[in-house]
Amino acid sequence: MCAQAAAFEQALALHCAPALTALAPANLVSLPAAEFPGLSGLLEAYNARLSAKGLAFTPLCQCRSRVLLLVYRPAFLDSRLKERHAARYLVGLGYPVSQGLDACLEVLRRRLNGGGDFPHEIGLFLGYPLADVVGFCALGGECAKLSGHWKVYGDVDYAKRCFRRFDESRAALCQGLAEGRTLLQLLGAVPMAA
């Protein structure tokens, strides 16, 4: 495996383990563009090999120095965004939920690249509970009951369980990589050609 692919897998294991292991519908990772000049080729290869495992990779935002990558499970994410209360909230913000996941991702992409306020509703795309997303937006990130993978304004016990499982998934993937296995092997995907 080339150094760039190894660095890519390490970044994915550190920042996207919950989505990779189906504990969350999506995760974000910000990659330094200079370290991943062949990112489009990597994304094409990983999309091809991991789509059968229900995973997809797409850049949401790119600037001169960084690429914000969404690692997601399309079916899982689509179902989360269509949950009644989440869908109502997103529709109120102008997301075309009835038009499907790709249309919602395009709106999110435009908002991230538009230079306006950060779209904190991205938390719903990442699987955060609606109460926590709404609480964060209403309170500007202040007065959270708990801070971890996200700021918690609702069910602390649920969040603690999620945080623990997320940390365990990260540890397992990072341990597997440290033992010399590839992310594709750890996820049981089709191996990449040499």
Query: Which sign, positive or negative, has the C-alpha torsion 166, 169, 173, 175?
Result: positive
Which of these ranges, 11-15, 89-93, 167-171, 188-192, has the smallest mean pLDDT? 188-192
State how far the alpha carbon of 47 is from the alpha carbons of 83, 126, 173, 189, in Å. 26, 19, 19, 11
CA-nearest of 135, 179, 146 to 13 is: 179
Spatial distance between the Cα atoms of 159 and 150, rounded to a whole number of angstroms: 9
Question: Using CA atoms in the order 142, 163, 113, 101, what is the torsion angle rounded to 10 degrees?
Answer: -120
User: What pLDDT, in 10s, does the model give residues 121-147?
Assistant: 999 999 999 999 999 999 999 999 999
User: What pLDDT, in 10s, does the model give residues 147-179?
Assistant: 999 999 999 999 999 999 999 999 999 999 999
Spatial distance between the Cα atoms of 26 and 40, rounded to a whole number of angstroms: 19
State how far the alpha carbon of 177 is from the alpha carbons of 40, 50, 57, 62, in Å. 22, 17, 20, 27
Q: Count CB neighbours of 156 within 10 A.
A: 13
Say what the pLDDT of residue 24 is.
98
Residues linked to residue 32 through DSSP beta bridges, in sequence order: 66
Say what the pLDDT of residue 141 is.
92
Say what the pLDDT of residue 41 is.
93
Q: Given pLDDT bands bounded at 50, 70 and 90, which one contains residue 186? A: very high
Say what the pLDDT of residue 3 is.
87
Amino acid 104 reads C
**DSSP code at position 191:** P
Which carries the bigger pLDDT value, residue 137 or residue 192? 137
User: What pLDDT, in 10s, does the model give residues 77-113?
Assistant: 999 999 999 999 999 999 999 999 999 999 999 999 9
